[in-house]
Structure 1
């Protein structure tokens, strides 16, 4: 190689480095899509837990669980309902504690700041909540339906009570 070819070779070497960096930059669009999805999932999960999950727990504990217990027909049934109510309430508190431990990290993810979420606890929350809801669906709610279904007034009272809890409190301020 002659002395005269050296400047051209330098440009060529420079381009080789540029191509490597362009290849790296070319990976970015594929990485941004999952990052954006993570932000969206975190944001929607934060809204959902704030607006739905905690309210759902309150509805069960303040309305459903007492109604089922009050309508139980005998001591054995009351004991079964009490045990189930206790279990489900304890699970609510555990799930809420777990959520609160994850919430600040999820807020950061919603803002595009990654790395502060305990993924093991996040998986634990998802798995525990699925098991909790499955127990309610397969065991508790059929029992509640059986117990409250014996008397239509009990089911109607529960429905009215839930309806009243979810009304806008300011809508009734003129009547109070």
Structure 2
């Protein structure tokens, strides 16, 4: 079965856990995109394929940009404020690479988005060879990106953001999404 998935419930009162839960949703959306490509090739553009395309579009049009903005506003700046010395060179380089990844992800997404819209509307039966290459670049980029964030960047940022800064981070993240409550049932966007 192609469409849909459930999101882990975590609240904005735990912003790093929220960011990691978002990574789980990214990975599920990436996997859905890959399954969609296989399904289109094997079965063609049927209702499950159109629903899967719509689900992927919704995630990468709405939630993924919020997630990237969360990182660019709250996670990257304190790390870039670290002294520019040998002790922090790896963190600085990792942040710069992640910023570059975000730009490339947006660019790759635009090419995939158009194809997914046509698939979701039943106007296209399959991805073209070029679109499949874009899809592979896009999904591969997310795999390495998430690993770098979770293994290097988030741990480094957690150390630099005290409880008060993390609470403010969570409140701003929720506010930008129009979420009033910050408890575990508050949102998974």
1:102 aligns with 2:112: yes
* Aligned residue number for residue 51 of structure 1: 62
Report matched runs for 1:1-176 at 5 Å.
31=43, 35-70=46-81, 72=82, 74-76=83-85, 79-112=89-122, 113-117=124-128, 118-148=131-161, 151-167=162-178
Q: Normalized per residue, which structure has more helix? A: 1
Larger radius of gyration: 1
Structure 1 segments, 4+ long, off by >3 Å, are 67-70, 74-82
Aligned-pair Cα RMSD in Å: 2.6
Please, what TM-score do these two structures have when normalized by structure 1? 0.65
The TM-score, its normalising length taken from structure 2, stands at 0.61
Alignment coverage as a number of residue pairs: 135
Hey, what's the Cα distance between the residues in 1 that align with 2:80 and 2:167?
A: 16
Counterparts of 1:37 and 1:91 in 2: how far apart (Å)?
A: 31
Gaps of 5+ in 2: 1-41, 180-189
- Greater RCO structure (CA 8 Å; 6+ sep): 2
On the 8 A contact 1:67/1:154 being kept in 2, the answer is: no
CA drift at 1:140: 0.9
Return 5+ residue gaps in structure 1 as ranges: 1-29, 169-176
